[in-house]
Amino acid sequence: MTDRPSWAPRGVDITRANVSRIYDYFLGGSHNFEADRQAARSALRSMPGIPAIARANRAVMQRALRFATDRGITQFLDIGSGIPTFGNVHEVVQAARPGARVVYVDNDPVAVAHSRAVLEDNPDATIVAGDLRDPESVLDHPGTRLLDLSRPVALMLVAVVHFLPDADRPAGIIATLRDALAPGSVLVLTHATLDHGPAPSGQRAVQEVYERTPTPLVMRGSAELRPFFAGFDLVEPGIVPLPLWRPDAPEEPYDRAELHGLAGVAVKP
């Protein structure tokens, strides 16, 4: 029999792996179940560099947040935010700009419950139970009213769009969100890819692991990501591998596994 931790919300199937909790495991978090750990370990056997990708993804997110705060943005909508770990959006932006407002959105009850606990004493940040596949419900949610959409917002789609198959029309979903944002808003998007890095065989094995979850992993190349930025102006250096998007130390070496992720940042004119 599988023991249910006291922090696990009722109704959560702890015997089935979930992408938020697998990612939490890769980042060294503790809010995951044995099913998540088994899936993560299976992926690691095929591609040991996954934790490096997760760390690179978190690092590029933080660099993009600095880009946004440097532009004066004080509002952030993070969809697919996952389980809070060190260096989350509200920690980064509220340190740079006290009073900055953050709305997290996730469809995993564990991520939502843990986020509520973390944000309990933070009046400028909240968590919304919502799904990227239904952008209208995210925009109309009472919790999203923490943000003033008539002013610029940074829309964070970090390591989430690769869980949307083409049948979900991800470009249309992003366009719906874009149309709700004021000029000057910023889109931050990261995505898994087969364009760079080691041979695809390991990645295919990783995809097979995610196919056993409710949200299979979809690999896309930089050309396939360009439609997601329609209506935005990409900033330099464009859509590039994670470690190459405005690194703090350009000469610093990186794990080649990090090339399995792409990052792009753009501004709504």
All structural domains of the chain with their residue ranges: 49-267
Q: Are 97 and 74 spatial neighbours (Cβ–Cβ below 8 Å)?
A: yes
Give the pLDDT of residue 73. 98
pLDDT score at 204: 63
Name, in order, each residue with C-beta under 8 angstroms of 201's C-beta and a sequence gap of 6 or more.
46
CATH superfamily placement of domain 49-267: Vaccinia Virus protein VP39 (3.40.50.150)
Please give the structure tokens belonging to residue 31.
Answer: 């809010």
The torsion region of residue 97 among left (phi > 0), alpha (psi -120 to 50) and beta comes to beta
pTM summary value: 0.88
- 187, 266 contact by CB (below 8 A): yes
pLDDT on residue 210: 63
pLDDT beneath 70: ranges in the chain:
1-3, 6-8, 10-11, 197-215
